[in-house]
């Protein structure tokens, strides 16, 4: 009887200890993977900064398509990681001088690139990092509509005397 009670109380503690050890191990592994990824990202940013140049281009088209369907050369598709080949990327078709090229745009600036307009862009290889000068009239994207939750939050903040969120 005593061994049964002892067994009954120790099993949950053993299971909890094993789960705790696994969680700690996963946290340590993710920490070191994160540090490794940060170093890799810093190297890539330094490489992009070293190779950037400003060019004038006429933007023909922009859209988000799967990487393998974007119209890049086969050598570029082969160099890309297998997981990223199926991801949607922001693609810009532009004319630089007499040549039409396909570029990958940065997610942050993709919406600000105007179509059928001439722009001065900061590029590094086939990656558009930024848009400097826009020729012609700049069209801002339409403001996003607020959902019911955001409207309720704005009303509550207005009653409290705080500025509404944008």
What is the predicted pLDDT for the residue at 39?
95
Residue 88 has pLDDT above 70, yes or no: yes
Residues 120 and 67 in one domain: yes
CATH number at 109 reads: 2.40.50.660
Q: pTM here?
A: 0.61
Tell me, yes or no, whether 22 lies in a domain: yes
How many CA atoms, within 13 angstroms, populate the side-chain half-sphere of residue 153? 9
Query: pLDDT tens digit string along 104-114?
Result: 998 989 988 88
Residues 87 and 128 in one domain: yes
Query: pLDDT tens digit string along 24-50?
Result: 999 999 999 999 999 999 998 899 889
Alpha-carbon gap, residue 164 to 166, rounded angstroms = 6
Q: Which domain holds residue 3?
A: 1-50
């Amino acid at each position: 009887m005593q061994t049964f009670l002892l067994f009954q109380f120790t099993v949950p503690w053993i299971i909890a200890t094993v789960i705790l050890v696994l969680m700690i191990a996963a946290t340590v592994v993710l920490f070191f993977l994160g540090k490794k990824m940060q170093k890799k990202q810093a190297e890539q940013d330094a490489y992009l900064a070293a190779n950037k140049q400003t060019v004038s281009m006429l933007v023909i088209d922009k859209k988000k398509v799967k990487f393998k369907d974007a119209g890049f050369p086969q050598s570029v598709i082969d160099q890309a990681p297998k997981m990223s080949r199926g991801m949607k990327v922001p693609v810009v078709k532009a004319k630089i001088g007499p040549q039409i090229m396909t570029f990958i745009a940065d997610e942050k600036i993709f919406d600000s690139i105007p179509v059928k307009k001439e722009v001065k862009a900061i590029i590094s290889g086939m990656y558009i990092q930024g848009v400097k000068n826009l020729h012609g009239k700049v069209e801002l994207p339409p403001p996003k509509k607020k959902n019911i939750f955001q409207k309720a939050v704005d009303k509550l903040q207005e009653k409290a005397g705080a500025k509404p969120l944008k």
